[in-house]
Amino acid sequence: MSDTRQRIITATAELFRRQGYHGTSVKQVTEAAGAPFGSLYHFFPGGKEDLGDAVLRTSGQAYLELFEVIYDAAADPATAMTDFFDGAAAVLEETDYIDACPIGTVALEVASTNDRLRAATADVFDSWVAAVALRLESAGVERAAAAELAVTLIAAVEGGFMLSRAARSPEPMRIAGRSMRALVELALTNSVLGAPGRA
């Protein structure tokens, strides 16, 4: 990938985090990326929508990899929850509550206004849910329960970002993490109790 294209994507991801899709102009993007205005249309012929699609998918993949690193370094699935939510809370505090989910704000803005970008956010959320579900299942949670719990965990992350940013406090995100830890522990207990030959 060209350096300029990458700089444009990185700058846009940061602007989306801070001010969303509708609040970000292509002029702001090229200025923040230190790129000529015309270069945006060179790399993204469809303009802001093409750029938005690339940014959502690239940022979504990067955030997935961050989750995987944190999860796989944790002692157990329950600890992984508080590690991830506490880590997100710390980043919020360090970045003046700007560095939150890279796609959450845009997901709500485009849900009813741009179907291509809505589909991009849905694909990213699906990839996150699948990664979490796979890990919970590997840890012993029954498949259907793991799939459901994964959805709730991603919802809690997104809601935690919203409440923490609104309150300018890390507490909502930390609290959501403790609740998710409790849910993971409950799911592991239920799976052991429900497993054939163990009841």
Q: How far is the CB of 159 from a second copy (least distance, A)?
A: 3
By CB under 8 A, is residue 87 in contact with a second copy? Answer: no
**Are the beta carbons of 62 and 20 closer than 8 angstroms?**
no
Closest CB to a second copy among residues 66, 108: 108
Which range in 19-27, 40-48, 66-74, 132-140 contacts a second copy by CB under 8 A?
19-27
Return the residues of window 157-196 that contact a second copy according to CB under 8 A. 157-163, 165-168, 171-172, 175-176, 178-179, 182-183, 186
Contacts (CB under 8 A) with a second copy, residues 100-139: 100, 104-105, 107-109, 111-113, 118, 121-122, 125-126
Q: How far apart are CA 172 and CA 115, in angstroms?
A: 31
> What phi and psi values does residue 102 have, to the nearest 5 degrees?
-75, -15
Total residues at interface with a second copy (CB under 8 A):
49
